[in-house]
Amino acid sequence: MVTQNGLEDLVKKARSSAIERKYKQSFELILSLKDIDTKKHPLNINEVVFLPTPTTKRAKVCVVASGDLGLRAGRADADRVLPPNELDTIAGNKREAKKLARSFDFFLAETSAMTKIGRGLGRFLGPRGRMPTPVPLNAPIENLIARYRTGTRVRGRNQMAVAAKVGDEDQSDEKVAENAMAVLTAVLNKLPNGEKNLKGIAFKLSMSPPARALASQVK
């Protein structure tokens, strides 16, 4: 069984082999998988994992909302509050729509706007796994924004590997391992045979070589 101590040891190896850069690098967790027949068990992993210890560079959240919900999102310091009546204009400008899709990590949207978003922006947000989470008008948007800022996205579509950002180089090995365990647990819950489908684990800093190990060695 993979343990947090084992993950922490692998984080230390990744850190020791890191190449020093003039900017702060991020830790990435890479999980390689095995023994999955993707025809019988299609892998379509697109999970948001809320990290126990958020990275210092918070996730960017865009809220599509109007009225009171939009006002409260603005007061909660959402990175952008986008009124639904602007969606058609953005969807009609391919460059602007692509820019919107890549500028934010997460999208939250009032429920009534979801159809319009799917029709106009789905082709830009969908392939990036960034379709909005629907939010009722009376939802505690302040809490949702704060929570999503701690999130990291784990994606893998019919591929035998998934990856996610799990920390920054100025975080301790223990904290990075704790975040990695949260991501690992979420991924294992999506696999047909859980940890039996886990082949290998790797950590790497952004522009540095990875430290790899078989899952059976991370104890």
pLDDT tens digits for range 147-182: 999 999 998 776 899 999 999 999 999 999 999 999
d(CA 192, CA 169): 33
Does the pLDDT value for residue 194 go beyond 80? yes
Ramachandran bin of 114, using left for φ above 0, alpha for ψ from -120 to 50, beta for the remaining angles? alpha
pLDDT at 37: 87
Query: Rounded mean pLDDT of 32-45?
Result: 87
All domains of the chain, ordered by start, with CATH?
4-56+151-217 (3.30.190.20), 61-148 (3.40.50.790)
pLDDT at 19: 82
pLDDT at 20: 83
Mean of all residue pLDDT scores within the chain? 94
d(CA 35, CA 192): 10
Ramachandran bin of 67, using left for φ above 0, alpha for ψ from -120 to 50, beta for the remaining angles? left
N residues, the chain: 219
Give residue-wise pLDDT tens across range 40-50: 888 888 899 99
Contact by Cβ (8 Å): 168, 21: no
Give residue-wise pLDDT tens across range 62-99: 999 999 999 999 999 999 999 999 999 999 999 999 99
pLDDT over 90 percentage in the chain: 83
